[in-house]
Amino acid sequence: MTSPADDLARVTSLAALIGANDTESVIAATMPSLSDGERAALARYTSFTHAAVLIFPTSLDGLPETLAEHGIKVGAMTPSVVVRGRLAARYAVPAARLEVGILRARVTDRTGQPCELEIFAMATPAELAHIAADERLRGWENHFALAVTPPDPVLLGGLRATIAAHLEPDGGGYNGHEDTSVFYFRARRRAGSPFRRLELTCTGRFAHPLAAHHRESVPGTGLLRLLTGAWATQAIATAAELRLPDHLATTTDLPGLAAATGTDQESLGRLLRYLTALGLVQPSAAHHELTPMGALLRSDVEGSMRSLALMYGGPFYHAFAALTEAIRTGEESYAKVFGAHHFAHLAADPDLAGLFHQSMAASNIMFSEVARTVDFSTARVVVDVAGGNGDLLSRVLAANPGVRGALLERPHALTAAESTLAPVADRCTLIAGDFTQAVPTDGDVYLLSRVLHDWDDAQCRTILATCARDMPAHAELLIIERLLPEARETDSLAVPWDIHMLCNTGGRERTESHYRALLAEAGFALVAVQPLPLDAYVLCARRT
């Protein structure tokens, strides 16, 4: 057996690296983007067990003795299953042609805790020398390892998902020789350290987490899920159009549902299977039931989102088909598809306008916290500027019996608002007008809810300037919008909605600092920002 000097040097260096690290430092080094809470949880339920390196002796015979001659005492060699499979896939070589073993030497980490130096060794005859050359250069198999304790499937699943949010899943498998489930991860970007991979291990065989990890380890799987997003939109819209969720409230068998919806039974069954995969329906024997999320598509429930599904699967869906043109020109695609701006098109079609106002109401859960978040006790009059069907104003007035309200809107919108505001009609005035030209001058609090995101910056300046001109000096302006993250975070509904606004109105979502600057130009100071449901915020501004 021979072993190149650089392989032996890498093994020796690895032993020193283990001695310079512990569980917390390994977690911090491999996942610097973890929050403090996530880092603490990982350190609580995992332990640094080993670091690994792959070497390439020409033969595995006599390898333990050769390592011992260099002061590295290892135990008996066991076959490698996972790494052999990874090498076979990476280099398109039949796994049967590869002989890969695992050797372990006992060492301690920097805190004195027991640890192991794990050596993967691949027998490397001349015809496999290209594999050795590439692996030595790239170090694909070098990694730190954390073991999950205790071996609990729920704990394992949570820890795996936490790591997968910061590192890319990179294969794994079950090693029957050691009764261990193995999950590999790698850094999303190539780092300077040769140890940019992490292994998570857990005693036992955990089929479900392993299956999820394998799916996520193939980049194409995630991309295909994203590409089928339009299919999901249409499946949900179809269910809403057929009133399938309404029928599921009373009919749960497939023949009965097909008869109630006037559909082909086999095709409806296929749709139900897809809705099940989307989490909207759950099968029970030969029956189907709505999940809590699916129940929101019923037309007869509080907070129904059926109209939203019809809008997203209808006009908005068609507008998104012209997204490329919107990106090229910076102009809304809705007008290009339908021949008129979003609001003009709605105004010309009463049925579509009604559906739009219903769809806006479907997201009004964000208003549920406004009356509790904002103190209206000193206000006499609350003016809702372009308040749609008046849902927000009705909530404010219902929670504050001593307050009067005024809704400023276009005539067709006021028609939709009459029924919403009926319970507080004795304290509310409906005003038809153009809010870009003037707003009522007698308010104490002014609401601009989901208005500014419909417009570009120039039009927003006009709207805010109008408010600043007509509002009394003491009045407060409340803006309700989603806020784009200031940093590079993307986990916010404002991110996809920003593209939605580009397509459908020519508007945009904005960051807090963007709104602060627009307000300052109009003579307002942003004095408070409070979170609301659905990633919305209420921004409180006063005249300067």
The pLDDT > 70 percentage for the chain reads: 98
The pLDDT > 90 percentage for the chain reads: 74
What predicted TM-score, i.e. pTM, was given to this entire model? Answer: 0.76
Whole-number pLDDT of residue 189: 67
**pLDDT tens by residue, 333-369:** 999 999 998 888 988 898 888 888 788 877 777 787 8
**pLDDT tens by residue, 27-63:** 998 898 888 888 998 999 999 999 999 999 999 999 9
Do 382 and 480 fall into the same domain?
yes
**pLDDT tens by residue, 270-319:** 999 999 999 999 988 789 999 999 999 999 998 899 999 999 999 999 99
Task: Give me the domain span that covers residue 291.
Answer: 228-303
Which pLDDT band, with edges at 50, 70 and 90, does 2 fall under? very low
Token pair, residue 448, equals: 């601009």
Query: Does a structural domain hold residue 386?
Result: yes
Query: Does a structural domain hold residue 354?
Result: no
* Boundary-marking domain end, from 265, 287, 303: 303
Do 78 and 49 fall into the same domain?
yes
Whole-number pLDDT of residue 198: 93
> What CATH number is attached to the domain comprising 489?
3.40.50.150
CA 125 to chain centre: 47
Mean pLDDT, residues 438-446 taken together: 97
Q: Cα(470)–Cα(151) distance, rounded to whole angstroms? A: 66
Cis peptide before 150 (omega within 30 of 0): yes
Q: Cα(47)–Cα(367) distance, rounded to whole angstroms? A: 45
Do 241 and 138 fall into the same domain?
no
Do 367 and 505 fall into the same domain?
yes
Do 399 and 449 fall into the same domain?
yes
Q: Is residue 163 over pLDDT 90?
A: yes
Do 58 and 182 fall into the same domain?
yes
Query: Does a structural domain hold residue 309?
Result: no
Query: Does a structural domain hold residue 455?
Result: yes
Q: Cα(45)–Cα(42) distance, rounded to whole angstroms? A: 5
**pLDDT tens by residue, 146-159:** 999 899 999 999 99
Query: Does a structural domain hold residue 326?
Result: no
Do 439 and 380 fall into the same domain?
yes
Query: Does a structural domain hold residue 348?
Result: no
* Boundary-marking domain end, from 190, 205, 223: 223
Q: Cα(410)–Cα(432) distance, rounded to whole angstroms? A: 5
> What CATH number is attached to the domain comprising 243?
1.10.10.10
Burial class (CB in 10 A: 0-12, 13-18, 19+), 405: buried
Q: Cα(357)–Cα(361) distance, rounded to whole angstroms? A: 6
Which residue would you say has higher pLDDT here, 490 or 126?
Answer: 126
Q: Is residue 190 over pLDDT 70?
A: no
| DSSP collapsed to 3 states, 288-352 | EEECHHHHCCCCCCCCCCHHHHHHHHCHHHHHHCCHHHHHHHCCCCHHHHHCCCHHHHHHCCHHH
Q: Cα(18)–Cα(20) distance, rounded to whole angstroms? A: 5
Token pair, residue 153, equals: 């499937």
* Boundary-marking domain end, from 264, 280, 303: 303
Token pair, residue 390, equals: 């008046």
Q: Which of 213, 342, 357, 453 is catalytic?
A: 453
Residue with tokens 């006992």: 106
Q: Cα(477)–Cα(541) distance, rounded to whole angstroms? A: 5
Query: What does DSSP assign to residue 366?
Result: G
Do 271 and 202 fall into the same domain?
no
Whole-number pLDDT of residue 193: 54
Query: Does a structural domain hold residue 126?
Result: yes
Which pLDDT band, with edges at 50, 70 and 90, does 474 fall under? very high
Query: Does a structural domain hold residue 413?
Result: yes
Do 42 and 190 fall into the same domain?
yes
- Report the domain count for the chain: 3
Do 495 and 519 fall into the same domain?
yes
> What CATH number is attached to the domain comprising 57?
3.10.180
Whole-number pLDDT of residue 236: 98
Q: Is 453 a residue of the active site? A: yes
Do 182 and 236 fall into the same domain?
no
Do 426 and 459 fall into the same domain?
yes
